[in-house]
């Protein structure tokens, strides 16, 4: 086994749009760059079918294709892509250069002068039978991404927080009818977000209600399963109802994949990485030399183009920070 240690200029954690874009920029700045791809190489877009809102693709592009191409672009520029999950980051005691020691779950330890965290945030799904197979076939975790596929149709949003209200209000501009299904008798969203749905003639709120069943239309086995209706249970009365739908948007939150950063960089209560304090390097976290971008960060818009843009910013910040040392 070759024990000689490589020292990377930048180690990027995550291989979604943020991580791969950062790697492309870093490689083009001649920084020795490695991407740790995590257990979802390509990130969240690899579980969607058509991406219709990424510029440059007049007919949309498959999520998997987009990410394979991004990865190939990075590799062509000399980026090393390593499979594995990061378990721990610490500061190594190497002198005179301050280095980050990054430990993977398989025990491998890598050293880098800077780190960019782009670990994304997983949508919280309902965890009901048939849900997985219906994602992309009537079930979505993102109205901005998929709302247009339901123009003029009937949809429901599950949730009662800011995201759920915002998604319901957004969908009400496109869809014929929007049900908002919430398990409590009041919304958790801010007053401003609540206003967008409470007086909206296209939005009907079902209070104290939970989705208990997802039913696909599989009458014709040659057509992939598609959501046809859902069963809703009133958790006060126990009454159950079937609601016919074209689409269901799950908006009950997301979990940033940042547990391994606890105690290393400042995180919000929900685990989002805080950036923005350092005005010169806006993507720097509370730990000098660790940058972050994409869905794992405390930014509002969780979109591939935003993640890619922030990844670019993190790479440019890293480059200028490294050259200031
Ligand atoms: C079903 C679905 C459909 C969507 N459709 C669209 C759309 O049409 N248009 C659009 O703009 N956006 C869409 N989005 C949102 C978009 O996918 C995200 O905004 C975007 O992928 C975020 O990019 P990211 O690079 O920040 O993170 P992600 O894409 O989430 O990538 C995170 C990466 O981090 C890795 N990782 C996590 N933890 C670790 C660890 N400990 N060590 C190493 N690696 C790790 C993962 O393996 C993954 O590679 C969709 C999302 C979903 C779920």
Closest CA to 173 of 145, 206, 148, 156: 148
Q: What is the pLDDT of residues 55-110, one digit of tens each?
A: 999 999 999 999 999 999 999 999 999 999 999 999 887 666 789 999 999 999 99
1: in domain: no
SS (H, E, C) the chain: CCCCCCEEEEEEECCCHHHHHHHHHHHHCCCCEEEECCCCCCCHHHHCCEECCCCCCCCCEEHHHHHHHHHHHHHHCCCEEECCCEEEEEEECCCCCCEEEEEECCCCEEEEEEEEECCCEEECCCCCCCHHHHECCCEECCHHHHHHHHCCCEEEEECCCHHHHHHHHHHHCCCCEEEEECCCCCCCCCHHHHHHHHCCCCEEEECCEEEEEEEEECCCCCCCCEEEEEEEEECCCCCEEEEECCEEEECCCEEECCHHHCCCCCECCCCCECCCCCCCCCCECCCCCEEECHHHECCCCCCHHHHHHHHHHHHHHHHHHHHCC
Considering the domain boundaries, does residue 2 fall inside one?
Answer: no
Same domain, yes or no, for 220 and 134? yes
Q: What is the CATH number of the domain that holds 312?
A: 3.50.50.60
Task: Output the CA 206–ligand 1 centroid distance in Å.
Answer: 31
Same domain for 260 and 307? yes
77 lines ligand 1 (CB under 6 A): no
Q: Rounded to the nearest whole angstrom, what is the distance from the C-alpha of residue 45 to the centroid of ligand 1?
A: 6
Atom of ligand 1 nearest to the CA of 310: 26
Same domain, residue pair 246 and 136: yes
Mean pLDDT of all residues belonging to the chain = 93
User: Which member of 9, 69, 145, 312 is catalytic?
Assistant: 145
- Is 246 in the same domain as 264? no
The C-alpha angle with vertex 254 and arms to 248 and 255, in degrees rounded to 5, equals: 150
Hey, what are 175's tokens?
A: 């869809």
| Domain contains 197 | yes
141 and 91 within one domain = no
| 200 Cβ inside 6 Å of ligand 1 | no
Whose CA is closest to atom 33 on ligand 1? 14
The verdict on whether 165 is a catalytic residue reads no
- Tell which of 250, 285, 307 closes a domain: 250
Two tokens, residue 116? 């960019």
- What CA–CA distance (Å, rounded) separates 143 from 185? 23
Shared domain for 264 and 275, answered yes or no, is yes
Q: Is the CB of 261 under 6 A from ligand 1?
A: no
Same domain assignment for residues 194 and 265: no
Q: What is the domain range of residue 88? A: 7-122+254-323
Instruction: Please indicate, yes or no, whether residues 130 and 113 belong to a single structural domain of this protein.
Output: no
- Whole-number pLDDT of residue 177: 97
On whether both 18 and 73 belong to a single domain, the answer is: yes
Among residues 217, 250, 283, which one ends one of the domains? Answer: 250
Task: Give the closest residue (by CA) to ligand 1 atom 15.
Answer: 303
Respond yes or no: is residue 312 known to be catalytic: no
Beta bridge partners of 290: 115
Residue 37 beta carbon below 6 angstroms from any ligand 1 atom: yes
- 155 part of a folded domain: yes
Do 100 and 140 belong together in one domain?
A: no
User: Same domain, yes or no, for 14 and 118?
Assistant: yes
In a domain, 205, yes or no: yes
Domain membership flag for residue 192: yes
Nearest alpha-carbon partner for 315 in 116, 50, 44, 60: 116
Q: Whose CA is nearest to atom 5 of ligand 1?
A: 145
Spell out the residues 6+ positions from residue 184 whose beta carbon is closer than 8 angstroms to its own: 160, 207, 208
Last residue of one domain, picked from the residues 190, 225, 250: 250
Active-site residue, 146 included:
yes
Cβ of 294 less than 6 Å from ligand 1 = yes
Q: What pLDDT was estimated at residue 92? A: 81
In a domain, 88, yes or no: yes
Residues 34 and 50 in one domain: yes
pLDDT of the residue at 4 = 63
260 lines ligand 1 (CB under 6 A): yes
> Best of 14, 21, 52, 293 to mutate for ligand 1, by most ligand atoms within 8 A of CB?
14
pLDDT digits (tens), the chain, 325 positions: 455 678 999 999 999 999 999 999 999 999 999 999 999 999 999 887 788 899 999 999 999 999 999 999 999 999 999 999 999 999 887 666 789 999 999 999 999 999 999 999 988 999 999 999 899 899 999 898 889 999 999 999 999 998 899 899 999 999 999 999 999 999 988 898 899 999 999 999 999 999 999 999 876 666 668 999 999 999 999 999 999 999 999 999 888 999 999 999 999 998 999 999 999 999 999 999 999 999 999 877 889 999 999 999 999 999 999 999 8
Looking at the 3D structure of the chain, how many domains does it have?
2
């Amino acid at each position: 086994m070759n024990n000689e240690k490589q020292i990377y200029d930048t180690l990027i954690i995550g291989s979604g749009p943020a991580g791969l874009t950062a790697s492309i920029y870093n490689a083009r700045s001649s920084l020795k760059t490695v991407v740790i791809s995590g257990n979802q190489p390509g990130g969240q877009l690899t579980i969607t079918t058509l991406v219709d809102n990424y510029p440059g693709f007049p007919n949309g592009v498959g999520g998997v294709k987009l990410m394979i191409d991004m990865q190939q672009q990075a590799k062509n520029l000399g980026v090393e892509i390593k499979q594995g999950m990061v378990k721990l980051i610490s500061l190594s005691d190497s002198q005179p250069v301050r280095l980050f020691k990054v430990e993977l779950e398989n025990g491998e330890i890598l050293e880098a002068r800077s780190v960019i965290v782009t670990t994304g945030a997983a949508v919280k799904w309902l965890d009901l039978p048939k849900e997985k197979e219906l994602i992309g076939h009537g079930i979505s975790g993102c109205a901005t991404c998929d709302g247009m596929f339901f123009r003029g149709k009937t949809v429901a949003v599950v949730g009662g927080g800011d995201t759920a209200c915002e998604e319901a209000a957004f969908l009400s501009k496109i869809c014929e009818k929007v049900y908002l299904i919430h398990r409590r008798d009041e919304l958790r969203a801010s007053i401003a977000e609540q206003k967008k749905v409470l007086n909206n003639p296209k939005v009907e709120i079902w209070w104290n209600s939970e989705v208990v069943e997802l039913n696909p239309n599989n009458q014709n086995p040659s057509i992939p399963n598609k959501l046809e209706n859902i069963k809703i249970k009133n958790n006060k009365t126990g009454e159950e109802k079937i609601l016919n739908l074209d689409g269901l948007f799950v908006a009950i939150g997301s979990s940033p994949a940042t547990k391994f950063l606890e105690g290393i960089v400042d995180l919000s209560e929900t685990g989002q990485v805080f950036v923005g304090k350092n005005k010169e390097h806006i993507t720097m976290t509370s730990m000098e030399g660790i940058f972050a971008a994409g869905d794992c960060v405390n930014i509002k818009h969780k979109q591939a183009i935003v993640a890619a843009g922030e990844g670019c910013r993190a790479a440019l910040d890293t480059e200028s920070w490294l050259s200031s040392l």
